[in-house]
């Protein structure tokens, strides 16, 4: 059975089209995973931002002369909320500074035994500790999804499809300062 050159060419074109479609759909899937993962980080950061005013008010009642630590946390919270939602690098930087400021705030609270015994403070402390762990897990998930997309965008031959359809690499949610990488210590021993 002689297929002929035309049939062979059609089969090759269909194979190329199939590859492009599969690769495109894989890139779309990877991009959606990055968006979904970023949404997870965003939700956790919003939960933390919502917790901070209650924490500030609780600490303020006991440690009124520690105004600097309270103002720093408040300012960084506002700065984080003002950043564009999709500014991964900017959010990582400010959220890292906010985590460090929260750690300093809890260090200040260490000097106030009545505050450490306050039920509301202890509850807020526990909530923040849980949120910090969830933020860390969300960050790892996001960075994994970003890595998968970036590999597809950079690898040959999928990079040809990625470039043709304007897929770009995702930024990693990285904290530059090593001290900011640590989960703030929010429990007292």
pLDDT score, position 179: 52
Q: What is the mean pLDDT of the chain?
A: 87
pLDDT score, position 67: 78
Q: With a cut of 50, say whether residue 189 has pLDDT above it.
A: no
- Distance of alpha carbon 72 from alpha carbon 51, whole angstroms: 15
pLDDT score, position 168: 96
Tokens linked to 13 = 């074109």
Q: Nearest CA to 77 among 50, 104, 37, 39?
A: 50
pTM: 0.79
- Distance of alpha carbon 97 from alpha carbon 137, whole angstroms: 18
Give tens-digit pLDDT for 15-25: 999 999 999 99
Give tens-digit pLDDT for 134-180: 999 999 999 999 999 999 999 999 999 999 999 999 999 987 654 54
Instruction: Please tell me the class of the 4-181 domain.
Output: mainly alpha
């Amino acid at each position: 059975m002689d297929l002929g050159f035309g049939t062979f060419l059609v089969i090759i074109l269909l194979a190329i089209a199939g590859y492009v479609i599969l690769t495109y759909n894989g890139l779309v899937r990877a991009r959606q995973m990055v968006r979904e993962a970023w949404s997870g980080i965003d939700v956790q950061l919003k939960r933390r931002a919502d917790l901070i005013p209650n924490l500030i008010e609780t600490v303020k009642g006991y440690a009124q002369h520690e105004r600097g630590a309270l103002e720093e946390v408040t300012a960084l919270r506002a700065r984080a909320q003002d950043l564009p939602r999709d500014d991964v690098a900017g959010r990582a930087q400010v959220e890292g500074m906010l985590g460090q400021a929260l750690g300093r705030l809890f260090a200040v609270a260490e000097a106030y035994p009545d505050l450490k015994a306050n039920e509301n403070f202890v509850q807020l402390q526990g909530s923040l500790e849980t949120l910090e762990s969830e933020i860390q897990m969300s960050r790892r998930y996001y960075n994994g999804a970003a890595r998968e997309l970036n590999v597809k965008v950079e690898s040959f031959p999928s990079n040809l499809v990625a470039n043709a359809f304007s897929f770009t690499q995702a930024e990693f949610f990285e904290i530059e300062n090593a001290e900011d990488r640590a989960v703030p210590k929010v429990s007292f021993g």
